[in-house]
Amino acid sequence: MNSKTTLLEARDLNIHIGDKPICTDLKMTFKAGEVWGILGRNGSGKTTLLHTLAGLRSPTSGEILVKQKKITDYTRKQLARQLGILLQNNQSTFPSTVLESALCGRHPHIRRLQWESARDIEITRQALKDVDMQSLIKRSTQTLSGGEYQRLSIATLLAQQTGINLLDEPEAALDLHYQIKLLEHFQSLAKQQNKLVIMCIHDINLAARFCSHFLMLYANGQFTTGRKEDALTKDKLQMVYQHPFDLVLTKNRKIFIPA
């Protein structure tokens, strides 16, 4: 697989919540090696769009393809080998250790009635190491802080080892250090392993730092898409958020500040 391979495609996609249009006639190809940011105001439908792309809800019309195959033609287990999603507020009340919880990411790769193999445990331990939770593997998930549980959820997704990673507010509940560290990790997966990352994210400057492409949701089902250089401008951000922005240029990047 190379960085030009299309992993996910939306064809004439229309999505509504009740009578409210989220996107109208969305035609998109998402390719290996790309990191997409979905920006929009509260209630604009970012999460709904992400859930639709993941096959968790049906669009009003149109279709989604995963590796050139209709998403509806996959079984849930087959799809989970191709696509993983980090959900908001995913904290479980089921008692388990950190390692047991993260091992759930390996379930799509395990046959029915089969136990996790030594390789599954090795992959999961590495995922926990990637989020700095290797020292907590025996801890009960019920004792974790919100930030620790978010890191555990990310480790579970990493253990799934999918080519497509859909992230709903991956920075939520994380301190600045882990926001940067884990977004750098997903950016590295895209660049070095040709994975696709699509994230709904509130922090515009984190998005500007780590995303290569943007899908920006406006009102009434309208949107704009493009590479960061073209999509992320003061004027377009003002259209999205209905608020003016100032642009500050540093040596390495652009910083957008609400005016």
Q: How confident is the model at residue 3 (pLDDT cuts 50, 70, 90)?
A: low
The stretch 180-194 carries a mean pLDDT of 98
Q: How confident is the model at residue 154 (pLDDT cuts 50, 70, 90)?
A: very high
Percent of the chain beyond pLDDT 90? 90
- Map the chain to HEC letters: CCCCCEEEEEEEEEEEECCEEEEEEEEEEEECCCEEEEECCCCCCHHHHHHHHCCCCCCCEEEEEECCEEHHHCCHHHHHHHEEEECCCCCCCCCCEHHHHHHHHHHHHCCCCCCCCHHHHHHHHHHHHHCCCHHHCCCEHHHCCHHHHHHHHHHHHHHHCCCEEEEECCCCCCCHHHHHHHHHHHHHHHHHHCCEEEEECCCHHHHHHHCCEEEEECHHHCEEEEEHHHHCCHHHHHHHHCCCEEEEECCCCEEEEEC
Using the predicted structure, report yes or no on whether residue 191 has a pLDDT greater than 80. Answer: yes
For position 15, what pLDDT does the model report? Answer: 97
Q: How confident is the model at residue 2 (pLDDT cuts 50, 70, 90)?
A: confident
Using the predicted structure, report yes or no on whether residue 91 has a pLDDT greater than 80. Answer: no
Answer with the residue of higher pLDDT: 126 or 254: 126
Q: How confident is the model at residue 189 (pLDDT cuts 50, 70, 90)?
A: very high
Asked if 14 and 61 count as a contact pair (C-beta separation under 8 A), the reply is yes
Q: Domains of the chain by range and CATH? A: 6-258 (3.40.50.300)
Structure tokens of 186?
Answer: 């997903």
